[in-house]
Amino acid sequence: MASHMTSPSPVGSFDHALLAHGPSHLRSELVDSDYSHSSYSESESTAASSVDEMRTHRPLPVGVYVPTVCFFEEGSEDLDVDTIAKHAVRLAQAGVAGIATQGSNGEAVHLTHKERKIVTSVTRKALNEAGFSSMPVIVGCGTQSTRETIELCCDAAHSGGDYALVLPPSYYKGNYNPDSVINFFEDVADASPIPILIYNYPAAVSGTDLDSDAIIKLSAHPNIVGCKLTCGNTGKLNRIAAATQAATLTDSGSGFMCMGGSADFTLQMLVGGGSGVICGLGNVVPKACVEIFEVYRSGDLTKALKLQQVVARGDWAAIAGGIVGTKSGLQTYFGYGGFGRKPLPRPTQEEAEKHAEAFKEIVALENSL
C-alpha cells in the first residue's frame, strides 16, 4: 500500500486547501478569526498557529496518546485555559507520544466552534513553550455533515492541530446507503488540510461499527493515515495492522497508525502489531500507561503483563466513571479537574470517594514511577 510516512498533506499547503475546498464563509473567518475568551486572545496564540506550522504536520510516533480533559472555571463554566495548558504539559512531561483535543473526554459536544479552536490553540502554545514543539496534536473533528466536518478540520489546522480524528456520521443512519460512510470519509480526506484518522467508536455513533474491510479500503487514501479502534476488537486491529503494514515499536512500516482506543488492551495491541493507544486513562495516570510500552520494548513480557492487569483495572474506573469519574479522580489525587459542563452531574461526596477508591491502585503505580 502507499506509504503514510511523514509527507505533507496532499493538497500542498494549508492556504491552497482552503481556497480549493473550504466553505466560502470559513475562508474569511480563518483570516480574521477571533480567539478571545476571558483572558485568552488570538495574539497569544501566534506560536501555535503560524502559517509555517500549518503547511506541514508533525509525525505520529508509536506510543501513548491522551485525549485531554477540558477544564472549566467554577461557576461560570468558561474555559479554564490555565489548567488546560498545565495539564497538557504534565502529560508531555510524563512521556506520552502525543495529545488529542476535542474527544469524548474533552467534552467536544459541549463546546462551540470558537471554544474548540481556543482549546487546541492553548494546548499547542503550551507544548511549544514547554519545549515540546515536536509533539503532535490530534483534534477531534467528527460531526454529522460532511461540510461541517471539513470546517472543523480547517479550524483544527488553523489552531495548531496536526491531524483530525473523525467519527462516522450516524444521525441519519437509517437513510444511508452502503457507500455513504465510505464516501463521507473520502470527501473529508479530499478536502481536509491536515491528515485524518478514522475513529471507530460504535457506542458514540448509534452502533455504527466500521469493519476491517472498510477501514483497509479507506487506508488507501493518501490523506487517511490511521485509525482509533475504541470498539476494542483486537482481531480487527490485527487485520488492519497487517494489511496496512502499520507502524510498530520495531518497524515503521508504511507509517499508517493502527491504534487502540483504551488502555485496557495496550499489551494486546502491541503483541497484535498495533501502533499505539489513544486512552482517556492517561489523563489521570500517563506514566503508568507509558510504562507498559517501555517494559514491552525491553522484552520483559511477564512484567508487561502484570502492568497491563493493573492498568486494565484502572481503566475500568475511567470507563465506568466516564468523564465525571475521571475529573473526580484528577481532583482527588492531583488537585485539579473540576466538573463537567451541565447537564453533566457533579459527584456527591460519597460518589467522589467511590471514584477515588476505584483509582487507588493505579494512582499508587503512577506515583511509584
What residues are labeled active site?
228
Q: How far apart are CA 330 and CA 334, in angstroms?
A: 5
Backbone angles phi, psi at 203, to 5 degrees: -65, -25
Contacts (Cβ under 8 Å, ≥6 apart) of 354: none
The C-alpha atoms of residue 146 and residue 142 are separated, in whole angstroms, by: 9
How many whole angstroms separate alpha carbon 122 and alpha carbon 270?
32
In 3D, which of 359, 339, 334, 355 has the Cα closest to residue 77?
Answer: 339
Q: Measured between alpha carbons, how far is 265 from 232 in angstroms, rounded to an integer?
A: 8
- Name the one residue in this structure whose C-alpha cell is 503494514: 245
What gap in Å lies between CA 208 and CA 168, rounded to an integer?
A: 8
Radius of gyration of the chain (CA): 19
Q: Kindly write down the DSSP assignment for every residue of 109-124, as one continuous string.
A: GGS-HHHHHHHHHHHH
**Grid cell locating 161:** 492541530
Angle, alpha carbons 272-276-280 (nearest 5°): 120
Q: What are phi and psi of 54, to 5 degrees?
A: -75, -15
Residue 197 to residues 107, 131, 227, 257, Cα–Cα distance (Å): 19, 26, 5, 8
